[in-house]
Amino acid sequence: MSKHEFLDPVLPSDDSVESVPLSTEQLELILNIQQEVLHALAEDKRESGILDQLCKLVEGLLDNAVASVLLLHQNDQLMSIVSAPSIPEEGQIRLSNKRLDIGYGSCTAAVLHGKPAYINNAATDYRMSKSLDLVRDFNVCSCWSVPVYNRDGKIVGSFMLSSFEHRTPTTYHDRVMKTCSSIVSIIQERKALRRLSMTDKLTGMWNRVKLDKLLVSQLKAYQRHAETYSLVLLDVDHFKQVNDTYGHNAGDAVLVDLANILKSNVRGNDVVGRWGGEEFMMLLSNSNAIKAQVVAEKMRVLVKQHQFPGVGNVTISLGICEVSRELSVLEMIDCADQALYKAKKKGRDQVCLAVLDRMENIEPKKLATKKVLVSEAVC
């Protein structure tokens, strides 16, 4: 039997569900949920926002109840809330890191058994026996959950509806829950695909697609709050020789090691990614030129001291542009790129800081753009 078969038609297989034919109005309400979510997807809203919207839509169909989405994590042994817009923070904390075991509620029961878990009396059902403190403290009377699957048919979480009055689900409720389960599955797959599209396959870092987005958002934040930041471009010196001498597999291994060095030595609020080929980018938040130079020099030394398996020593050159006035994204990139070029020209294995002079209009390839002129690069 297909793991998704329970999502297929109309009549519920669960004995706890009261079999009542769906009315035209009920079908319209379910259809409305689907249309609202599709509209949000078409507007390219964030997945977290769509999940919150889904929970709110379902809560609008059932008074005195709250909806939530819980997903597995940490080797599929714990469940945590990823969306629960109407549950107070205290409740969300207590619902997080729920062990995947019978007794912790309908959410874990649905995952463990691979089918809907409808608890009509939370105070007496054995599936709630280890969560009676939550039942008591938050006055939970009924609790319904349906498993959420990924594209491979693996259960990755559950959609849950908690009611503050005793209820027995009908065919209508069963249909709503299963529809929401399918929607959560689609949203999670979309999130995974979106992340995959923005991740460099070789190094696991952000790729140029993501970096482009972050450059725009960082600039907007700067324009709002005037918090200076710096952009750093770096690449591997004589990388073509590495590939020609040791082979492309060795060259790829160098890039992976370099990526790990960069990721391990930036702050949590900094951004690092692969700009393309052997070139990488760092966005250092709240960092002026002096701070950026310290970070860049640290990276240069760490790379130079590292022994790359099968290759030995490798060096990098770095160019820095401090954003202290309103530059466009293209101008910032050009600024850092020119500083990197200066570092290469002056002998490589060094850090150069661009000193902005002025800007002039140029028209390469018949496209009017601006080019940042760097009067000098301090190395």
Q: Answer whether residue 6 shows pLDDT above 60.
A: no
Q: What is the mean pLDDT of residues 230-254?
A: 96
State both tokens at 156: 């990755």
Residues in the chain: 379
| Residue 182 DSSP SS3 | helix
Cβ neighbors of 22 (< 8 A, separation 6 or more) are: 10, 171, 172, 175
Q: What letter would DSSP give residue 206?
A: B
Confidence band (pLDDT; 50, 70, 90) for 376? low
The upper half-sphere exposure of residue 133, i.e. CA atoms within 13 Å in the direction of its Cβ, equals 5
Q: What is the pLDDT of residues 24-83, one digit of tens each?
A: 999 999 999 999 999 999 998 999 999 999 999 999 999 999 999 999 987 888 999 999
Cα→Cα distances 305→255, 258, 300, 347, Å: 15, 12, 9, 18
Q: What is the pLDDT of residues 170-210, one digit of tens each?
A: 999 999 999 999 999 999 999 988 888 999 999 999 999 99
Q: What is the mean pLDDT of residues 149-158?
A: 93
The DSSP bridge partners found for residue 361 are 370
The DSSP bridge partners found for residue 170 are 18
What is the DSSP code string of 6-49?
GGSSSS---TTSB--PPPHHHHHHHHHHHHHHHHHHHTT--HHH
Q: What is the mean pLDDT of residues 5-12?
A: 47
Which residue type occupies 120?
N
> pLDDT at position 368, please?
35
